[in-house]
Amino acid sequence: MTKVVLASNNAGKLREFSAILSEAGLEMVPQGALGVPEAEEPHPTFLENALAKARHASRLTGLPALADDSGLCVRALGGRPGVHSARYAALAGGEKSDAANNRRLVGELASVQDRRAGYVAVLVYVESADDPRPIVAEGYWEGEIIGEPRGGNGFGYDPHFYIPALGKTAAELAPAQKNAHSHRAMALQSLLRALRARGGA
Ligand SMILES: O=c1nc[nH]c2c1ncn2[C@H]1C[C@H](O)[C@@H](COP(=O)(O)OP(=O)(O)OP(=O)(O)O)O1
Ligand SMILES: [Mg+2]
């Protein structure tokens, strides 16, 4: 079994990844278990932030690394919070928490008609910190932002992310259902296909 370090400190992401990766025969170790501290994420693109996180974890552990940079992009907000999703409330002087981020989001959309939004996940896999061929995969999930939270599963913006085709928010989906539809799961399936199709160095 190939051992891969998961370059994330987000418990919700780690749960979603481990369910899929164990089926794929990959042993995943969260970076926190190996003493890797959070990486800087200063870049304007999901791709650059994911690459920075993957390289950081691989450099410090000597293992292949998988990173996820993701966020919520809201049409009426011109794509915000986007790459700043995790720090959305903190950037306005609030605390760095899911609850505060959701309060800011819902407040900004209070009198907005267009509720369309999408989750984006960009995953990067590197064999080593200086891997010349990082594998990149993207996933997207369309939904709408609702003002009243619904459901207790998932994490982050999930209680406000409503999927019309399913008639539920992401937080109302069972973990396996979220993994059958989500941006993260779609990106991971595509990354695993690329990994399987990859030739040697
Ligand atoms: O499926 C999701 N369900 C709900 N919310 C989500 C999801 N996917 C991303 N999000 C939100 C959470 C966080 O506000 C931001 C990710 O920020 P992002 O920097 O990629 O992750 P993070 O800082 O939580 O953990 P880490 O960087 O250690 O992987 O987007
Ligand atoms: Mg982060």
The closest residue, in CA terms, to atom 4 on ligand 1 is: 156
Instruction: Tell me the CATH number at 74.
Output: 3.90.950.10
The closest residue, in CA terms, to atom 22 on ligand 1 is: 10
Predicted interface score ipTM higher than 0.90: yes
Order of strands, sheet of 26-30, starting from the edge strand that comes earlier in the sequence: 26-30, 2-6, 65-74, 116-126, 135-145, 161-163, 168-169
Ligand nearest to the CA of 12: 1
Of all atoms in ligand 1, which is nearest to the CA of residue 98?
14
Domain interval for residue 191:
2-197
Q: What is the pLDDT of residue 1?
A: 66
Q: What is the pLDDT of residue 2?
A: 76
Ligand nearest to the CA of 31: 1
Q: What is the pLDDT of residue 23?
A: 78
**pTM, whole model, 2 decimals?**
0.97
Bridge partners, residue 144, by sequence: 116, 162
Domain count, the chain: 1
In angstroms, the CA 33 to CA 65 distance is 14
The tokens for 73 are 């992009």
- Cβ of 8 below 6 Å from ligand 1: yes
